């Protein structure tokens, strides 16, 4: 089992647009094989910082997720709103940074 913490910094005033685009992706991802948890949260102190918290059965399930058509489309759709992103994959024995 692995955890993924994806921290996204978005442009000012982009929260509503980003959240609207994220909802179909979140719903589809929660139905994927190997997905145990997939949530998007906004910082309570910085509305321009969002965090995806994910739990996957395996690194392979995550790899399938990253190549899923709804994820590819979502990444393309959010490009105008994202300033930067950092993804950390927490394995039982190490942390991988994408």
pLDDT, position 98? 82
pLDDT, position 47? 87
- Give dist(CA 24, CA 5) in Å, integer: 19
User: What SS3 class is residue 93?
Assistant: coil
Residue range 13-38, pLDDT digits in tens? 999 999 999 999 999 999 999 999 99
| Residue 1 pLDDT greater than 90, yes or no | yes
Higher pLDDT, 68 or 98: 68
| Residue 60 pLDDT greater than 90, yes or no | yes
pLDDT > 70 fraction of the chain, expressed in percent and rounded? 100
User: Rounded to the nearest 5 degrees, what angle is found at the Cα of 46, between the Cα atoms of 42 and 50?
Assistant: 30
User: What SS3 class is residue 61?
Assistant: helix
CATH class of 2-97: alpha beta
User: Rounded to the nearest 5 degrees, what angle is found at the Cα of 91, between the Cα atoms of 56 and 15?
Assistant: 55
Taking a C-beta distance cutoff of 8 angstroms, is the pair 8, 51 a contact? yes
| Residue 67 pLDDT greater than 90, yes or no | yes
């Amino acid at each position: 089992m692995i955890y993924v913490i994806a921290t996204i910094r978005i442009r000012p005033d982009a929260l509503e647009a980003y959240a609207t685009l994220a909802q179909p992706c979140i719903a589809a991802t929660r139905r994927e094989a190997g997905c145990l948890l997939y949530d998007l949260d906004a910082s309570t102190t910085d509305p321009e910082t969002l965090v995806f918290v994910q739990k996957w059965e395996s690194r392979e399930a995550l790899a399938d997720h990253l190549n899923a058509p709804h994820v590819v489309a979502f990444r393309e759709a959010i490009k105008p709103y994202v300033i930067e992103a950092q993804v950390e994959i927490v394995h039982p024995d190490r942390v991988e940074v994408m």
